[in-house]
Amino acid sequence: MYMNGSQVNKIDLLQRLILEWENETIEFKSTNPGRHDISEYVSALANEAFLNNKPCGWYVMGVDNKSHEIVGTQFKNQPGQISDVLTDIKMKTGAMSDVRVDEIIHNDKRVLIFKIAAASPGCPIYSQGHAYGRNGDQLVALSKDKEDQIRFSAGHYDWSAQLAHNSSTEDLDIHALSKAREVYLSRKPHLTHEVKHWTDTEFLQRLRLIKGGKLTYAALVLLGKAESLYKTGMSNIEIRWILQNTRGEMLDYKHLYPPFLLAADTAYHLIRNTNYRHMTPESIFPEELQRYDEFTLREAINNAVAHVDYMANACIDVVEMENDKVIIKNAGSFLPGSLETVLTTTTPYSKYRNDCLANAMIELNLIDKVGSGIRTMFRHQIERLFPVPEYILEDNYVQVTIQGKILNYSFAFNILQHNIAPVDIALLYDVYVGRRIEKEGAARLRAQKLITGKYPKVHIASFLGESSSDPEFRKKILQQQDMSTETYIAHIKDILRDGYPRSRSEIMQAIAPYLPPNYNQVSMEHKLSNILNRMHKEKIISVQGGRRHAKWQLI
């Protein structure tokens, strides 16, 4: 724990540090750490040492940070107290930090020099889940750019595969271990006799969750006791279930901590999967089924556990909108890049953010291989006639929404009958609800004659409405088709045929029901102006009064 070396060399080191004085990699304190914990300085100095291409950073106690004078310190001067400080640092920063302390007596004054190894490539140092850096001699939160610079310096870095300092099977939850054995055997029943005789260590070795007697972070996340999480260096590992009403007001919530093997199951059961009744055109009796498909919900929650960016120190949110939908959100980018890649590629995606954790979850049958699980979720929703899962993919988070009701029975039924690819069904739902889709997707739908209209104002093809036995649905689909200008002119002529002049607002009120529902007020006004200008130019109508009080009538 303590550095070797002669007292003379230690004093020379101290003098060199004082001459260099405070910068991003050196910090001086006169007597005690002040309002910041030493572990925060360890995080900052280790990260800045890496970023400044230095082998280490230095934290010196016993030197006045204004006068540069050696004043000495009585900080932790009892036997064993410095060892306790180092243990506390290790607990708060995880196993990745490397700190050594040298005690110097110079002119009867005691000085402590903490030598802090630079962060390793791909591995920023955190203090209780937060990454720190320096702005000159000031302690600050490490910027996202600097954090990414460290994280991506070594290519792929698997946080979940890191070994937890001073960990053992005593840190694991016995109920989670028992459940893990149970689900492992359900997947590999031929090993029943053998598994019964495995020790916990042997079982964990099969899952590749332990190495040299030390647990991986994946083991602590999946099977560990909540009180042992500090050994990962992260403070915010949890699933947060929230119940909201249709106005977005929170009705209830619950924090669920590891072991996530059990917490994910608890989150699933907290979601109120009530029976859902809906009418079909083919029957006078309502059909009844559960609001949410079990596989779809479980896969979405477990995917968040497996693929969240734990180094972002953000919880997993499971938000239940009362009798409407479930939204699951986790930190981290979507590694396959796009949903289209997953839905159109049959081979499993080979890259995981948390390889160690994801592979263990696959072994325990908690998730499918990347891609296949999402494709199964889509297939289940399509077969149930529910909207497909809606993904929002950003640089720093992934969000999936699972609807708990059928958007329109006839629309979903027609899509199923026409054997449309899942990736295109997702786009059709976007078009149906008025969301803008990318040009490439629109071109693909147009090639299949599934949409009409000029991009970006595209509409569901009329045959999807015409083949429906639901008249309201057929009306909605046909309304989405923007009528020709001649048709609008015919409607306006009908309005004016009685000879009475009409104001602009009266004409708009008459034709508004025939305009596509995705037109906003500006679009409608622009459309009407073009039609009225054409009719006036072609001498079909005349105008009376000024612009603000104009009225039109047939000539």
Q: Where are the domains of the chain?
A: 7-155, 169-232, 239-409, 410-481, 485-554
DSSP state of 154: G
Each residue of 304-321: b (16+ CB within 10 Å) or e?
bbbbbbbbbbbbbbbbbb
CA dihedral (74, 79, 83, 84) positive or negative:
negative
Are residues 119 and 55 in contact, defined by beta-carbon separation less than 8 angstroms?
no
For residue 517, the model assigns a pLDDT of: 65
* Helix extents (H) in 308-371: 339-344, 355-363
Residues 6+ apart with CB under 8 A from 211: 163
What type of residue is 280? Answer: T
Q: Which residues pair with 70 in a beta bridge?
A: 63
Tell me the fold of 485-554: Arc Repressor Mutant, subunit A (1.10.10)
Closest CA to 57 of 165, 159, 132: 132
Look at the pTM and tell me if it is higher than 0.85: no
The residues of the chain scoring below 70 in pLDDT are 1-7, 22, 95, 154-155, 281-282, 347-351, 370-371, 462-484, 517-518
For residue 349, the model assigns a pLDDT of: 63
For residue 176, the model assigns a pLDDT of: 98
For residue 44, the model assigns a pLDDT of: 95
Query: What class is the 7-155 domain?
Result: alpha beta
> Measured between alpha carbons, how far is residue 141 from residues 33, 128, 231, 254, 372 in Å?
17, 13, 21, 29, 39
Residues 6+ apart with CB under 8 A from 153: 50, 121, 122
CATH 3.40.50.720 fits 239-409, yes or no: no
- CA-based Rg of the chain, rounded to a whole angstrom? 33
